[in-house]
Amino acid sequence: MRHLPLLLLFALPSPAAADGLKAGVPGGKSPAAALVEQLGDRDFRTREAAGKKLLELGERAVSALEDGLDSPVPEVARRCEDLLAAVRHTVEADALLAPTLVELPAGGTTVQKALDSLSKQSGYTIRIEGDQAVLSQPLKLTDGKVPFWEAVLTVCAAAKLEVCNTEAALGPVDPARGLRAGNVWLCAGKGTSRFSAHKAVLIQLQPPTKDELTRSPTTHAPLMVRVFPEPKLRWHRLVEAAAVTATDAKGAAVRMALTPPPVPRLYEEELIRGGRLRALPPSGTATTTTGVMYLTAGADELADLTGVVRFTAWKDGTELAAVKLAGKETSGTADGPFGVRLSVKVVGPIANRTGETIVDVTHRWNPEFVRPDGSAVRADAVWFENVNGKAVPVLPPSGGGPGPNRFGLVFKNEAGEQLTGTASSTRIDTAESGGRAVTMVTVSYTVSGKKGQDAKPAGVTFYGNRVIEVAVPVGAKNLPLTAGTRPPTVPQSMLGD
């Protein structure tokens, strides 16, 4: 999976690069169009600075970048393709990470009332593990709308609590049933962890306990990284966490361990080479994921740490592939992400049945990263399958997305009107693509329209939920590299009796 460039997270054009950015917008061109032209400049610094500026423009640069794809200058076309992919990815990631905004009760209140208010506004249940007496503790808060995690951290700081777990939906859920309300657990704060909130994600950096230091080689200090997604975020898996810079109290650089030491896995972490981590997918409903960064020993405290955490989450209802049938075309194929392929063949009209056409569709996808989604199907469109010679309405699969079309296919005529289909035969196979197992479904549909509607299919679109990779910055100051007792990774209330 392609990683987001770090400049999207941290970097702005440097003064040196900005000097190479040519001023002026000639001929009434838009600033974005002028920057696209500079992508082909003879000076490398100018090309690089123009690319960074286009990334900063984001959606405002999309039109100019799309025009640049047809540039006769190969360098411009290539850079526009890369920048367009990066901008679109950033827009998707920003939408996915949009935080729930809440408002803290102003003035004097209690922990209980503050948490009740946050629960009511967010739809999440906020629980406290351990001593419940803290709920009656008085608080004095400042009002104003803020992201959910920032509000939680404000309450935690005032009440000496910290987040210890979250519970959310794993994978796509049925939006027709509403977002599945999740749980957020708070516990007594130890004062050694550092929390970093970024939109809908909270990241905890937790120093090792004395026991962990004893079990680890003396040359390595394990720094635990824990990710708490907002419960509304459909979590997929943690990809990696890495330190970008780390300095001790004297300003000296603290290096990442190049090779993880040979120690047993702690708290379900999976270590990889390069001083980074890849975490195991979360199990059950506890979506907090945990990993370890190993730092070289020698410092008792990190004065400053910056890093990046990458993870994947589900994005619902996206167009994965589309086949257009123009004029007399009767077949076509289109590819999409994660091995998606959609093949369509119009067999022809059904004899003695006006306005009905047989269409064979084969589409494949990697079930690890893609799930069909029927939410794009028109609400009044009725889909059927042939069961024992009778047309039976198709029901949405459990947890597989709303709408009657369980395979996420939408048929439209040349006017763009959605058509109705009956699946007369379905075959589901498992194949291999790029060394990975993929699901391949072949369906023969009878496609028809309403009375007076053109029922000739002019296009077929495959909709589904897919994962996208997100990178979020993380940072901490004055982080000790030794701590006391580790709180439980999963609250006792989640473990049952």
Least confident of 58-62, 121-125, 436-440: 436-440
224 CB contacts (<8 Å, ≥6 apart)? 204, 205, 206, 207, 208, 267, 269, 290, 291, 292
For residue 491 the two structure tokens come to 């609250």
Q: Residue 339 pLDDT > 80, yes or no?
A: yes
Top pLDDT among 278 and 375 is at 375
Question: Which contacts (CB < 8 Å, 24+ apart) does range 24-30 have?
Answer: 30/64
Q: What is the mean pLDDT of residues 99-124?
A: 90
Q: Residue 458 pLDDT > 70, yes or no?
A: yes
Least confident of 84-93, 171-180, 240-249: 171-180
Least confident of 47-51, 223-227, 467-471: 223-227
Q: Residue 379 pLDDT > 80, yes or no?
A: no
What is the distance in angstroms between the CA of the first residue and the CA of the last residue of the chain?
A: 40
- 298/202 Cα distance (integer angstroms): 28
Q: Residue 212 pLDDT > 90, yes or no?
A: no
- 127/119 Cα distance (integer angstroms): 10
- Cβ–Cβ under 8 Å, residues 220 and 296: yes
pLDDT band at 334 (very low <50, low <70, confident <90, very high): very high
Top pLDDT among 175 and 212 is at 212
- Cβ–Cβ under 8 Å, residues 96 and 155: no
152 CB contacts (<8 Å, ≥6 apart)? 118, 126, 163, 184, 186, 202
- 327/456 Cα distance (integer angstroms): 11
Q: Residue 148 pLDDT > 80, yes or no?
A: yes
Top pLDDT among 189 and 342 is at 342
Partnered with residue 247 across adjacent β-strands are: 253, 304
pLDDT band at 118 (very low <50, low <70, confident <90, very high): very high
DSSP state of 219: T
Q: What is the mean pLDDT of residues 445-463?
A: 85
- Cβ–Cβ under 8 Å, residues 409 and 329: no
pLDDT band at 132 (very low <50, low <70, confident <90, very high): confident
Cα within 13 Å of Cα(201), Cβ side: 28
**pLDDT score recorded for residue 182:** 76
Of 126, 118, 231, 122, nearest in space to 182 by CA: 231
72 CB contacts (<8 Å, ≥6 apart)? none
Q: What is the mean pLDDT of residues 456-482?
A: 87
**pLDDT score recorded for residue 99:** 94
Of 62, 63, 102, 90, nearest in space to 197 by CA: 102
* Chain centroid offset of residue 287 CA: 14
